[in-house]
Structure 1
Amino acid sequence: MSNEETAPYSAGAPVAAATTATEESSVLAVKKVRTVHLQQAKDVGEKFAMLTSYDALTATIFDGAGIDILLIGDSAGNNVLGHESTLTITVDEMIPLVKAVSTAAQRAMVVADLPFGSYEQSPAQAVATAVRFMKEGGAHAIKMEATAHHVDHVRTLVAAGVPVMAHIGFTPQSEHALGGFRVQGRTGGDILQETALALEEAGAFCLLMEMTRSDVTASINRAVRVPIIGIGAGAETSGQVLVWQDAFGLRDGKMARFVKQYANLFETLTDGAKAYRTDVRSGAYPAPEHRFDS
């Protein structure tokens, strides 16, 4: 496919974004978002935004729009590769996605998810996987689903120079052990807080809390110094994260209660594809202006 007479898409090309006075005074008004800036944001009461991204094009768009963190989640398993769940995606499948996002992102922090089976065996296995994501994929940090049993994993990763975002609450990789997609914190809120404190003590720079009772999230947010990112965990957090296909309506069907849709790309793309099909079948496309006649 020739692109001689078109302006090609360039990974990492800046996307124009409006800047407000508030953004200019923000601790996050930086050329590159790092862990220290997220901590500063919590310290001064600022909020930050995180989205999933799995390719260079969306990474460029989200980065240019001012999204602070881009997560290459194991959710790529069902949102990109068509798997039935996140459990089956592998490290080898994820690394090219991480590389695409890290290459395109200019400002956002890039976080790679450790997939199921890539870290549970031992702290050494976790370090080996994380090193691959950072060396081969260019990730700035990793996210791992964590319980009290993973405190040593986090401590070892941090000692090896790997920034760790610890994912607690509902952890999708443990959906079978948890009895399905169930809100966490309805019982055992104190245990969840103890886990959060232990992971913070081990060196996690941030906690991600999923599908957790909002009052439990608020209590933990007050108890820990590090910032918390929520997804279905209420508003008393420093950040929020959504899967981008959910947030912008690329997927059809029922959404989780915590999802707010900011666009309907499913409908837009469907309408566009139907219009294209109609033009091709009728001969309306390509029109004279789309042809090379000399």
Structure 2
Amino acid sequence: MSTTFQLDTSTSRANPTPAPMKRLTVPEVRQRKVDGTTQMPIVMLTAYTARQAQLLDAHCDLLLVGDSLGQVIYGLASSVPVTLDMMIAHGAAVVRGSYHAAVIVDMPFGTYEASPEIAFASAARIMKETGCAGVKLEGGEAMAATVAFLIRRGIPVMGHVGLTPQAVNVLGGYNARGRSDAEAETILADARALDTAGAFAVVIEGVVEPIAIAITQAIACPAIGIGASAQCDGQVLVTDDMLGMFDRVPRFVKVYENIAETIGSAAARYAQDVRQRTFPGIEQTYQPRKI
């Protein structure tokens, strides 16, 4: 039985506690797909904090510390300004808050594209400082050599093709990809290149469904969809999107709960109690001890 750092909900402190189960490994995730078929689809959600990880962990195979935290946590216009330090800080928190799911950390823009050596330095720092199980990077054929370089040096890599948010300035927006035959062939070739390079899984984002299905059938490693197809080997969503934390979400998101409304309602009731001086009450204040 391994030991990890769990967030004690009674004290809000991270304490070493025995993990009740062995953490899922990257090879186990890869082995979910046998002869082109994944019997048990892979469940992945994003997580950015220890408490969020703790709540999601038991239900997920993979927790992704996505560079989407730029928009979700920091209010940035895109993921491009996200730094390595930001990813490491949140990655370490998610590892501390989980014990079951394999934690994967996004490599932010500008930390891996220039050369395999630069990518290794960035990925090694992420692995060492967070304790995560692997990294994710965007790009297809152009990044295949880098993916192989990292894997040969002990760093598991998840690929990402189709709509690649770090390339938003080149793509011109977040529209679905693969509508033309030429673009569809490029995306398929990208996924195959990453698979051949040794990626343990490939995220397919924002592509027309027939392309997602074709990629899933064409590659040996699991294909994880987001805005792709239910026929992919697994699915990932930004947790805050599926919890209804934002007014607008991509069309491929199913909103499972309206947490924003719950938070807003609670804050309104709190504000009313404060202004009416009904909070804090006797239960929330310290009274003199009776002698």
- TM-score normalized with structure 1 length: 0.89
The Cα shift of 1:272 comes to 0.2
Secondary structure in structure 2 of the residue aligned to 1:161: coil
* 1:146-197 Cα shifts (integer Å, max 9, x gaps): 1211111101010110000000000001111112112111122222222211
Q: Which range moved further: 178-187 or 266-275?
A: 178-187
Secondary structure in structure 1 of the residue aligned to 2:31: helix
Give the AA of the match of 1:272: A
Q: Structure 1 pair 50/13, CA: closer, same or farther in 2 (3 Å)? A: farther
- Asked whether 1:153 is paired with 2:156, we answer no
Secondary structure in structure 1 of the residue aligned to 2:126: helix
Following superposition of structure 1 onto structure 2, how do residues 200-279 of structure 1 map, counting pairs within 5 Å? 200-251=195-246, 253-279=247-273
Match of 1:293 in 2: 287
Following superposition of structure 1 onto structure 2, how do residues 78-157 of structure 1 map, counting pairs within 5 Å? 78-157=71-150
Gaps of 5+ in 1: 1-5, 15-29
Q: Structure 1 pair 116/74, CA: closer, same or farther in 2 (3 Å)? A: same
Secondary structure in structure 1 of the residue aligned to 2:267: helix
- Asked whether 1:199 is paired with 2:199, we answer no
Equivalent pair of 1:211/1:231 in contact (CA under 8 Å): yes
The Cα shift of 1:11 comes to 4.2
Match of 1:9 in 2: 12
| Identity between Structure 1 and Structure 2 (%) | 38
Match of 2:177 in 1: 184
The Cα shift of 1:36 comes to 2.3
Instruction: Determine the C-alpha separation between the residues in 1 that align with 2:90 and 2:30.
Output: 27
Instruction: Determine the C-alpha separation between the residues in 1 that align with 2:222 and 2:165.
Output: 21
Match of 2:168 in 1: 175
Give the AA of the match of 1:140: A
Match of 2:4 in 1: none
Equivalent pair of 2:140/2:189 in contact (CA under 8 Å): no
Give the AA of the match of 1:208: V
Equivalent pair of 2:47/2:64 in contact (CA under 8 Å): yes
Equivalent pair of 2:26/2:133 in contact (CA under 8 Å): no
Q: Of the candidates 13, 37, 47, which is equivalent to residue 28 of structure 2?
A: 37
Q: Structure 1 pair 12/151, CA: closer, same or farther in 2 (3 Å)? A: farther
Give the AA of the match of 2:12: Y
Give the AA of the match of 1:108: A
Q: Which runs of 4+ in 1 moved over 2 A?
A: 9-14, 39-44
RMSD over aligned CA atoms reads: 1.6
* 1:78-134 Cα shifts (integer Å, max 9, x gaps): 111121111001001221111100111100010000101111110111111100110
